[in-house]
Amino acid sequence: MILEPVHSIELSEIRAARERIAKTIVRTPLIRLELGPEFPEIRLKLENLQPINAYKLRGAANAVAMLPEADRKRGVWTISAGNAGQGVAYAARAAGVSCTVVVVETAPKSKLGRMKALGATLIPVPYEVAWKALDERSFPGVGGTFIHPFDDDDFIAGHGTMGLEILEDAPEVAAVIASIGGGGLITAVASAIKPLRPEVKIFGAEPETAAPAALSFEKGSPQVFPNWKSSFVDGAGGQSVFPRMWERMKPIVDGSLVVTLEETKNAMRLLAEKARIISEGAGALPLAAALTGKAGKGPIVAVVSGGNIDLQKFSELIAS
């Protein structure tokens, strides 16, 4: 498959996406996390409050809306650990088109159940198979129009609407932190914020068990992460940084902060205790990164990207 060259996502594309998806998504609140003077000043962008409990609905709604009628009629399919699949399934159902998701077989039951409830056909596969299919943009036996869950201009433009909201609600923001899985979210937020406020730092957050973006920023080129391990942080931390996504991230993202699994659990507990927020692992990574102090004193916006986690698993993690 010959792909169009990577291009910078323009503010005009993000603003057009905002109009397009306004009736589908929620403009999520930005709340202050009160921790005390010894901590950085942190605000939480609550994307866990989207109708699918994750930010992916922004990009999916825009991507499905942008499809030509002929492509829609063929049905759509995507590859996901759960949240992108829910987003595409939700947008597809609203558009009256069929949806198939090649899903990572270890995805939480809550994500699998939601995708089924939204009418998606699920094909469970091991993580390695899903990651390979993402790179190849194909999967045996699956037809229809493929929507890439991060390396897609319309997906990224949809996510960028979050960046516009952050600047409107916190014009004094000094840094924004968002988890990196494939890199679509961090690219989107940076694409919205950097043209308007170039001095704002944009940092990714990754778990120590899967931090290819941090390694890529260290080496100056897209890297495969050695000794990749799966963890409860299923929505972030890829096996590698795809070269196309590195091309997108490198000019506008300031780096990626690595946090331990223990720090991530502590952030999940803190979100529950202080703000009554149920966050999945990837949603808590940015708060964990902010608490290390590596992003400065703030104001820092930590993007709580999703809250799709099985409640029993969540209880076990924050109790341990």
Task: Extract the tokens encoding 96.
Answer: 């009256």
Residue 38: Cβ within 10 Å count: 5
| Domain parsing of the chain, residue ranges | 11-55+153-319, 57-146
- Reduced DSSP (H G I as helix, E B as strand, rest coil) percent helix, strand, coil of the chain, to 5: 45, 15, 40
What would the pLDDT profile of 282-314 be if each residue is shown by its tens digit? 999 999 999 999 999 989 999 999 999 989 999
The rounded mean pLDDT for the chain is 94
Q: What is the pLDDT of residue 107?
A: 85
Q: Over 90: is that where the pLDDT of 201 sits?
A: yes
Backbone φ and ψ of 30, nearest 5°:
-115, 115
- CATH of the domain spanning 57-146: 3.40.50.1100
pTM (two decimals): 0.94
> What is the average per-residue pLDDT within 31-39?
93
What would the pLDDT profile of 248-271 be if each residue is shown by its tens digit? 999 999 999 999 999 999 999 999
> What is the average per-residue pLDDT within 29-49?
95
Pick the CATH number of 11-55+153-319 from 3.40.50.1100, 3.40.30.10, 3.90.1150.10, 3.50.30.30: 3.40.50.1100
Q: Do domains 11-55+153-319 and 57-146 have the same CATH topology?
A: yes
**Angle, in degrees to the nearest 10, between helices 184-193 and 11-21:** 110
